[in-house]
Amino acid sequence: MHALPSHDALRQILPSVIFELADRFVRAGFEISLVGGPVRDLFLGRVSPDLDFTTSATPEQTVKAISGWADNIWDVGREFGTIAFKKDGFTLEVTTYRADAYDKDSRKPIVAFGDNLRDDLFRRDFTMNAMALRLPDLELVDPFDGVDSLREGLIRTPGSPDISFSDDPLRMMRAARFASQLRIEVSPEVRQAMAEMTERIDIISAERVRDELVKLINGADPRAGIDLLVDSGLADKVLPEVSALRLEIDEHHRHKDVYQHSLTVLEQAIGHETDTDGAVPGPDFILRFAALMHDVGKPATRKFESNGAVSFRHHDMVGSKLVKQRMRALRFDKDTTKAVARLVELHMRFYGYGEAGWTDSAVRRYVTDAGDLLERLHRLTRSDVTTRNRRKAERLGFAYDDLETRIAEITEQEELNAIRPDLNGEQIMSLLGIKAGPMVGRAYNFMLNLRLDDGPLGEEIAGERLQAWWAEQPESQAGEHDK
């Protein structure tokens, strides 16, 4: 934790647009303060991209104060007291002092505007976010000891945590998110309140839960955030498949349980990200979430063998289906859902390569099935090796090195990443004398499989093979195709 910079230093650090805004409000007779995350981040040695303010002005008075100065204004949050606008490339939000009340069965507060800064800070989620800098003199206002919370590395609430979480249950997810993002712990009373109030999360929309989960997974220490969700019981509501992993013993008998194994895979996957550039720039939610969820099919597929071993046959396929169900329930978009589920489905494909080796055809299929997820699949597969047996880990690592080398060689020879049959659809129709329809699709799939199995053949040989295949089809023999 850093000390708050001096006034002169703050004026150099903070964007000038803050002081321009403050001048307009003060001249109009209103109080205004920089509040929340931007103030907290100053103690963490960074400048927040968010610029949030609280003011004594009403929304209408705020609009009047910034009209003609702001580049553009939108007021979709007016009923909640928030006016957002852009100025010089910055997005700013100014919210009227709030003193909200809550209905225990509602997802939204009953908006009530307040008349002082302290009451506004009291209604905020955590003490570290309940600090403000009065503008323009940059006086720190910290009535609930947010600085002490940061210094101790603890997440606390300004008031009683059970009341805070009852008012807005999403704050429980935010606690886990901050544990991940800021590498800090929750206080004992916050942890207890989370455990006692998990049912309250049911009134929160899936979209809001999803957004906090994404921020958690993309944080600096997602293991800490997931642990908090699981230990508190909140994961039973939002990620029950992960909670279930605690009960399952890994088949290698080298880990405490599959849950701990999955968290280790997540951490190792983060280590395989390529910073802000490269093949998989981090933080990469798709890779990270696939790493966390890759074994969620194990509880449903666990089988005790006659020799005492435990197996999880087809847990990859079962897990992929469970991932789709969970991500759909959390309202993830289709592309992200499809990508994570596909990685879970493919994460076991590599095993066996080291013992038996693969034909060129098998390598082609591996690349084709992975598609644009190949780089992520490389990293997920490597991350899944958590054995403490050094010799086994080295053997698997060498085997995957060899596979990647073969992929690179075949790619160079055949442009594997853009595999297409030797004949396209129009050529197929011309050669076989058929019109567009299901038969063209079947013929195209035959040509694609031929390409995967035998590599590039050239149009002449490929045409001969296609005609031989066509001669064996009932449609050709019976003359049912439409010439």
CB contact set of 10 (below 8 Å; sequence gap of 6+): 4, 42, 133, 138
Q: Determine the pLDDT at residue 474.
A: 85
CA 433 to chain centre: 49
Task: Check if the beta carbon of residue 480 is closer than 8 Å to that of residue 474.
Answer: yes
Q: Give the H or E element holding residue 480.
A: none
CA dist., res. 175 & res. 170, Å (int): 9
SS in 3 state form for 360-392? HHHHHHHHHHHHHHHHHHHHHHHHCCCCCCHHH
- In CATH, the number for domain 158-238 is 1.10.110.30
Overall fold of domain 248-417: Hypothetical protein af1432 (1.10.3210)
Say if pTM beats, i.e. exceeds, 0.85: no
Model confidence over 182-209: pLDDT tens digits? 999 999 999 999 999 999 999 999 999 9
Q: Determine the pLDDT at residue 248.
A: 52
The structure tokens 């050239």 sit at 458
Model confidence over 396-406: pLDDT tens digits? 888 888 889 99
- Looking at residue 202, the DSSP 8-state letter turns out to be G
Amino acid residing at 459: E
Q: Determine the pLDDT at residue 254.
A: 42
Residues in the chain where the model's pLDDT stays below 70 = 100-111, 247-256, 354-356, 414-418, 477-483
CA dist., res. 203 & res. 199, Å (int): 8
Q: Which two tokens stand for residue 176?
A: 């886990």
The residue extents of the domains of the chain are: 7-152, 158-238, 248-417, 420-478
Q: Determine the pLDDT at residue 482.
A: 47
Q: Determine the pLDDT at residue 104.
A: 64
CA dist., res. 308 & res. 306, Å (int): 5
Q: What sign has the CA pseudo-torsion 211, 217, 221, 225?
A: positive
CB contact set of 162 (below 8 Å; sequence gap of 6+): 193, 196, 197
DSSP class per residue in 275-315? TTSSSSPSS-HHHHHHHHHTTTTHHHH-EE-TTS-EE-TTH
Overall fold of domain 7-152: Beta Polymerase; domain 2 (3.30.460)
Single out the residue of 446, 450, 457, 372 nearest to residue 414, CA to CA. 457
Q: Do domains 158-238 and 248-417 have the same CATH topology?
A: no
Q: How many helices (H) and strands (E) does the chain have?
A: 26, 13
The structure tokens 């507060």 sit at 109
CA dist., res. 126 & res. 138, Å (int): 21
Task: Check if the beta carbon of residue 38 is closer than 8 Å to that of residue 52.
Answer: yes
- Do the bridges between strand 82-87 and strand 72-74 make them parallel or antiparallel, or are there none, so unpaired? antiparallel
